Structures are given as C-alpha cells and as structure tokens.
A and B are shown apart, each in its own frame.
Chain A
Amino acid sequence: MYPSNYRYTKEHEWIRIENGIGTVGITDYAQHELGDVVFVELPKAGAKLSAGQSFGTVESVKAVSEIYSPVSGEVLETNTSLANEPEKINKDPHGAAWLIKLKIANAAELNTLMDAAAYQTYISEKQKEAAH
C-alpha cells in the first residue's frame, strides 16, 4: 500500500526523491480521512518552502485541510491536472495525484521523515485511537 521508496510525514504527506527532485503528495490514509476531494489549491512555481510550511489546501466535502511541505525547497512544478480532476487524489494518491515537485534545499531533512514501515505503524495507532 505505502511505497517503500517514499518518505512520510505525521501530517500525511509523502515525498519521493529522484535526482535531487522531490515529488510531494498526500497519502492514501489522508485521502480516505478527507473523503471526496473537490478542490486543490497549489502554490506557484518558484515559491520557496521551508520544512513544515503550509503550501496549499485540499478541500473535500467535509473540510478544507492544509498541506505541509515535508522538506525545504523551491517549487519547480505543480500538478495542474488536479484543477479539473481533483478526484484523482481519491483514486491514485501515491501516483497520478502528486501535488508539487520540489528542488530540495537540504537533503539531510529527509532523515527526519518516516519510512513506509514506520508510517504504517503510525497510522495503525491513529486508527486504533479513532476506533476506541
């Protein structure tokens, strides 16, 4: 379910690294909690983000949620297809529904993120809490 080559945040974003470029999205758990996504607001290319900074919002029928950057960097590209097809986030959160591509400023920050196994444990604890 959660790709092993991705890294994850406590706020349920994922990041995938290829050649110093990070691709960021929200996790399957996040899309499931949000419900049907109806609108996505993303930054402009060129925006400088610091780790943990909010860079946009995802709006579902239930609520508007902030999305936070897993690491620091500069926005190179955003996924413009989400403007017309926000439902992609519900269908393919780990693939086609990536949100932004980042030029990573400080690769060391990646070490603070969770790997797939740690994230699985983290969300199963969340689910236990919710079920309680």
Chain B
Amino acid sequence: MTDRIKKASRHTSQSEGLIFEKSAPGKRGIELPRLDVPAVDARQALSAAHVRETVNGFPEVSEIEVIRHFTRLSTWNYAIDLGMYPLGSCTMKYNPRVNEFVARLDGIATEHPFQPIQLSQGCLKIMQALQNCLLEITGMDAVTLEPSSGAQGELTGLLLIRAYLESQGNPRQKVLIPDSAHGTNPATAVIAGYQVENIRSDARGQIDVERLRQTITEDVAALMVTNPSTLGVFEQHIAEIAEILHANGSLLYMDGANMNALAGIARPGDFGVDVMHINLHKTFSTPHGGGGPGAGPVMVKKILEPFLPVPVLAGKSDGTLTLDFSRPKSVGRMRAFCGNFGVLVRALAYALAYGPGIRQATEDAVLNANYIRKHLEDVYELPYKSPSMHEVVFSDARQKKYGVNTIDIAKRLIDYGFHPYTTAFPLIVPGAMMIEPTESEPKEECDLFIDAMRAIAEEAATNPEVVKTAPHSTRVGRLDEVSAARKPILRWQPKASGEAAD
C-alpha cells in the first residue's frame, strides 16, 4: 500500500473527518422545484434581528454525504449487542428484542399525547400495568412514571420530601449522604434547596449506625442511601437506619439505581424506605447510553402520595382510566405529558416477558459479579471484602508500583475488545475499577473478560509501557483528555485560506 491509496481500507477501520470538511459551496441535499412566484429575500422578510451571522462555514453537503458520514460514525459504536459492557453502576444489560417489537406495534407507536382520554385507554392501561409491577417489586404504595431520568427521579423524590415536611410545618435544612452514594445525590439535594452533609462509611463499606444515631439532628430532612451502595455492598442495617430516621421525623430516600441486585428478592418498601426511584434503563432493560432516553419512576409510601407530580393516573366509576390534574398538594409537573412513554412500554414488555424470572435475572447478575470477583481477586486489590452484590469494585493498588493506574487498564481493555469498566469511581476507593457484568453475560463472555483482565495484570508487571500507552488497536490512540478538558475546542472554525490541512 502506498500513501496514494486513499480509499482502500476496510470501512470498519477507516477514519472519518468532520462533516464541515466535506463542505463545498452550492452542494445541496434537497433540490427544490423552480419558483413559480416572485423570489423573496429571506433576510429582509425575517428582519435583521432574526438573521444569524455568527455561524461561519455551515456545511453544504449532498444527501449521500450526510448519510455516509453518520453511517460511518455509527460503525464506531461499542454496544451491548457487540459485546460485554461492564460499566459499573450503569447496569448495561441486554435490551431484549421483544421490548422493541411491542413498542413498535401500530396501536402503540402511533398514539399521540393530545388524543382524547377516551381514545387513550390502551396507553393508560399500559401505564397502570407498569405501575402495578413497580409497586409489587419495590413494596411501595404509590408511583409516578413521569420523571425521565434517574437524576430527575431523585429531584422529584426530594421535592416530595420537602413538600411533605413543609406540610408538617418545617421543611428542615439538611440531607445526609453517605460517601458511598451515587454522585448525583448531593447535586439533587442542593437543587432541592438542602445542605448536604456527608457521612463516612466504616471499614466494611457500611453506614456507621451508631455514629448516625449520635450525630443526627432535628434539622435533618432525609438520608439519601444508594442500596446496594456504589461498592456493590448491601447496607445490612438499613432497617435500623430507617428507624433512627423515622424516630427523628426524617425520611429515607433510596437511590434505586442498583435495583438490579434486589428486584424479585428484597423490597425497599419492606426495609423502611419512604421514597425511591428506579432506573428503567438499568433494571428494566430499556435502552441506556447514547441518550436512552431514560425513565426514573418514583415510588412513595402513602404519606407522600398527595404530593406526587400531576397528572396522576386514576380510575373512574365507569371502569375507565383518566389523568387526574386536580391535586392541590402536588409538587407540580416534572415532565410534559406522561414522561417517556415509549420507554415505559418497553419496561412493561420486559416485566411481563420475564415475570417471576426477574428474580433469577437478579440472582444471575449477582452470580456473574461474584464469578468475576473470584477469578480476579488474586491479581487485583479488593479494598472492601464485604460480599458483593451485582457489581464488584477492585482498585489499581497492586499495579501502581509499575506506574499503571485504573485508567491505563481500562484503555488497554479496549484493545482486548471490551468496553472499559467504570474508572476512578466510587471516590472512596482510590484508583477504583468498578465492574458490573449484569445477568446478560453467559459464562463464556465472563471468561473472556476475566482472561483479558488477567492478561492486562500480567502486562502491567512485565511490560507496563504497553498498558500505559493503550489503546493500540483503535482509529485514534490515547486521547489527551487533560488538554481537552482544560482548553476545549467546542466549535469547528474554517481554516484560514492557504493554511495546510492536517
């Protein structure tokens, strides 16, 4: 091959420039018919205030160039349909095709949110059925399907807590958050107008119950717990923690992002949780990543029901369903219409297709994580030895002496054909390597992953350079993430004429 061959590379490995670089004056995707009326100058018709002059070099390209550009980019994706996606804390499980089949059924896919309520009974029944599934699995009393992400679910939950406490006379000031919680929890509490107080985990990665009992004050509105925590460890004293909070007039919020370790086995409603969200794009197998879109339904105990966002699904005396907007204590709307309805359909399809099998999905998720733990714990440091649930957190402590850190190992994993695990999180583990295989993975794929991780551990000791400079098999090598964050270039600019292209 010589440099003059520009096209003869496999499409799966060829690089792709920016669409701006394909631009040439006058190229068009659409050819309009010849005008049979006098031409109007759009600039004049819209007036100067509506003409944007700041976009320089807007791409002028043909339709096939657009199609090829994005189709080529799409082949760069790594997806669960290509291989294991062990991104801890994210529950990147398989999205069963039955979900997609159901969501595309004519009577469902073509529904419109402005359809009259009497013609939307099917959609409302779908929502009702999903609500019942979620309440059964979580052991809670009432639910809203409106929130459209885990973080929005958290905010909804905290607003419910605030509204409830206000109705009791005092919204209080503080929200307690363990250091093993999800990173979004403190942000949520602040947006809901609360001060955050961190509480430290003990050596086993558990909330220190005695310390909580001694330090809790009457300005504590709630504790936000992620259970199992980001260490993949179940809070064994969760019921006792709930009692301490309730005796103090405080509420217990549970981040249900890790429900993949509990669904079908333990119900948060039974261990004292007052309000929680669940990520349908995790536990209920709806698409995750690339924008999802997500869905973060919120489940509450009876005391919080009057405050749920509007509209609330309600039954009428004639047996039909309706949307109830007259809820004077409601925190208001969290999202237009009824949330991401298409995602709700997929979640229900999953729940009905698997039914009681959800318990086995949970058991398999826990089994897979422990299988990987068992086969890697002799080569990677396991900072918390408590039993693992659906994910396992190692650290790079043993590889550090060779100058290899968690990010290097993650990058090298790309060369072995896997999506990286979650790096450097949770923060309470320095150099964390957080691995969540989910129940989707057969033993054979887990074994391939284990082989790759063991091979990298060996390389770190014998040939650390190859790990530190990974990845080597990709279109572009190691990206300079520091410069990208410090001096981001957020907009393409046309090159000055005469400047050499690179």
Contact = CB atoms under 8 A, between A and B. Distances in A.
A63 B481 CA distance: 13
A58 B430 CA distance: 17
B482 A61 contact: yes
A80 to B, nearest CB: 16
A28 interface: no
A130 interface: yes
Given A130-B397, A131-B397, A87 B427 contact: no
Contacts of B486: 36, 38-39, 86-87
Given A33-B430, A130-B397, A131-B397, A62 B424 contact: yes
B493 to A, nearest CB: 20
B431 to A, nearest CB: 8
Interface in B460-498: 481-482, 485-486
Given A62-B424, A63-B424, A130 B430 contact: yes
A50 B215 CA distance: 19
A29 B175 CA distance: 29
A4 to B, nearest CB: 27
Interface string A41-62: 0000000000000000001011
A62 B424 CA distance: 6
Interface string B378-389: 000000000000
Contacts, number: 23
Contacts of A59: 485
A41 B397 CA distance: 30
Contacts of B482: 36, 38, 61
Interface of B: 397, 423-425, 427, 430, 481-482, 485-486
A39 B424 contact: no
A2 to B, nearest CB: 20
A63 B397 contact: no
A86 B481 CA distance: 14
Given A63-B424, A63-B427, A130-B430, A38 B397 contact: no
A38 B487 CA distance: 9
Contacts of A36: 482, 485-486
B397 A61 contact: no
> 6 nearest interchain CB pairs?
A38-B485, A36-B482, A62-B424, A38-B486, A130-B430, A61-B481
Interface residues of A, number: 12
23 contacts: A33-B430, A36-B482, A36-B485, A36-B486, A38-B482, A38-B485, A38-B486, A39-B485, A39-B486, A59-B485, A61-B481, A61-B482, A61-B485, A62-B423, A62-B424, A63-B424, A63-B425, A63-B427, A86-B486, A87-B486, A130-B397, A130-B430, A131-B397
A95 to B, nearest CB: 20
Given A33-B430, A36-B482, A39-B486, 18 more contacts: A36-B485, A36-B486, A38-B485, A38-B486, A39-B485, A59-B485, A61-B481, A61-B482, A61-B485, A62-B423, A63-B424, A63-B425, A63-B427, A86-B486, A87-B486, A130-B397, A130-B430, A131-B397
B428 to A, nearest CB: 11
Contacts of B424: 62-63
Interface in A26-42: 33, 36, 38-39
Nearest to A130: B430
A38 B485 CA distance: 6
A63 B406 CA distance: 14
A67 B195 CA distance: 15
B88 to A, nearest CB: 15
Contacts of B430: 33, 130
A96 B84 CA distance: 46
B458 to A, nearest CB: 21
A62 B406 CA distance: 11
A59 B485 CA distance: 10
Contacts of A130: 397, 430
Q: Which of A33, A36, A61, A87 has the most CB of B within 10 A?
A: A61
Interface in A58-74: 59, 61-63
A47 B423 CA distance: 35
Contacts of B485: 36, 38-39, 59, 61
Contacts of A87: 486
A131 B430 CA distance: 10
A61 B479 CA distance: 12
A59 B482 CA distance: 11
A39 B482 CA distance: 10
A63 B425 CA distance: 8
A82 to B, nearest CB: 11
Contacts of B481: 61
A27 to B, nearest CB: 16
B188 to A, nearest CB: 15
Contacts of A63: 424-425, 427
